[in-house]
């Protein structure tokens, strides 16, 4: 397997990164199967593993830690913090207080002395980015963390973080992990160009668009019983009829294009994201060894300009079909008070 440099870090990583969201109670509950997934990936040349403290609320990190025992030095290990770990208001977010606790928890669960890439899972509007960078810089100096990164940060917040690091002499974020697939191309407008401009390594999550780009969903058949559309339909956009119908139509066209190009839809989808000049690695999240096997061959795929042009014709650059595909909604879109001036009593109120 050919390896790629992760941003400015000098760390060499495989083009496919093993994502572990589904290892544990959120997906595969059989730990022996989880270990087979990890070992099969490592034996195939994947040296990059991505997890997060919130995945199955720590269970995924524990499974990964046990699975890589004895092979730790050969692995680039990434994890994340930010999401709530319980009902406590201070066991979440990007504050120094939580970062210093969260990293110790992750180190313990992963059974390791250091984390190669420690990522901020989402922005935190309540915390100054300098506070976050200050805490992460201390972890780098302490040797507990080798490099730091972000996930699902809007382009403007990527720029602000780079400015703050330079201004305050902090460690700079070296990577960004963002949502990107043929059916979710929003990142092409700003986030990917900004990441490239600042030399960030880019990890892509959901390159198969939550399973849509596997070919498992068809107009003439109900979704498989073990698919996300069946097990997690409220979070998955399968019940949104307008989105579902568009995605079914597009995946049919993309499936036909893949067949014409002599490859599976899965390989077409992974080959597409890996062909972007700013992308370093695609994070795949198999639930079974068979699913992993269907994705491994994508590293040997090189899409021709003609195939990429055909994809652009089916799904134009910048297209985003579902808000679930983006991964982060700025608070100003969900909190009306952030868009409105305070009401001033005594002024004439509108009657309409």
Catalytic residues: 55
Produce one character per residue of 214-251: b if its CB has 16 or more CB atoms within 10 Å, e if not.
bbbbeeeeebeeebbbeeeeeebbbebeebbebbeebb
Q: Output Rg (C-alpha) for the chain, integer angstroms.
A: 21
Q: Which two tokens stand for residue 290?
A: 């068979």
Query: What region, left, alpha or beta, does residue 57 occupy, with left being phi > 0 and alpha being psi -120 to 50 degrees?
Result: left
């Amino acid at each position: 397997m050919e390896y790629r440099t992760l941003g400015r870090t000098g760390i060499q990583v495989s083009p496919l990164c093993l994502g572990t969201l589904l290892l544990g109670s959120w997906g595969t509950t059989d730990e022996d199967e989880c270990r087979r997934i990890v070992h099969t990936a490592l034996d195939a040349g994947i040296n990059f593993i991505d997890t997060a403290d919130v995945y199955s609320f720590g269970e995924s990190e524990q499974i990964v830690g046990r699975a890589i025992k004895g092979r730790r030095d050969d692995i680039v290990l990434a994890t994340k913090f930010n999401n709530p770990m319980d009902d406590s208001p201070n066991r979440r977010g990007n504050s120094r207080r939580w970062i210093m606790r969260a990293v110790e928890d992750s180190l313990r669960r992963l059974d390791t002395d250091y984390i190669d890439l420690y990522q901020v899972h989402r922005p935190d509007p309540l915390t100054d980015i300098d506070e976050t960078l200050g805490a992460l810089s201390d972890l780098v100096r302490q040797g507990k963390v080798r490099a730091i990164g972000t996930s699902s940060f809007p382009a403007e917040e990527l720029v602000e973080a780079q400015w703050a690091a330079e201004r305050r002499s902090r460690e700079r974020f070296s990577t960004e992990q963002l949502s990107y697939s043929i059916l979710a191309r929003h990142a092409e407008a700003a986030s990917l160009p900004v990441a490239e401009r600042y030399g960030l390594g880019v990890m892509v999550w959901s390159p198969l668009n939550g399973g849509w780009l596997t070919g498992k969903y068809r107009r003439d058949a109900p979704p498989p019983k073990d698919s996300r559309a069946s097990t997690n339909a409220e979070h998955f956009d399968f019940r949104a009829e307008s989105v579902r119908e568009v995605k079914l139509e597009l995946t049919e066209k993309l499936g036909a294009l893949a067949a014409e190009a002599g490859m599976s839809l899965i390989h077409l989808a992974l080959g597409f994201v890996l062909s972007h000049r700013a992308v370093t690695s695609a994070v795949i999240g198999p639930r079974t060894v068979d699913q992993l096997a269907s994705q491994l061959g994508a590293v040997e795929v090189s899409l021709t300009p003609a195939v990429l042009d055909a994809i652009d014709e089916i799904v134009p650059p910048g297209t985003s079909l579902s808000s679930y595909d983006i991964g982060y909604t700025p608070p100003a879109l969900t909190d009306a008070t952030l868009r409105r001036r305070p009401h001033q009593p005594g002024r004439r109120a509108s009657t309409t």
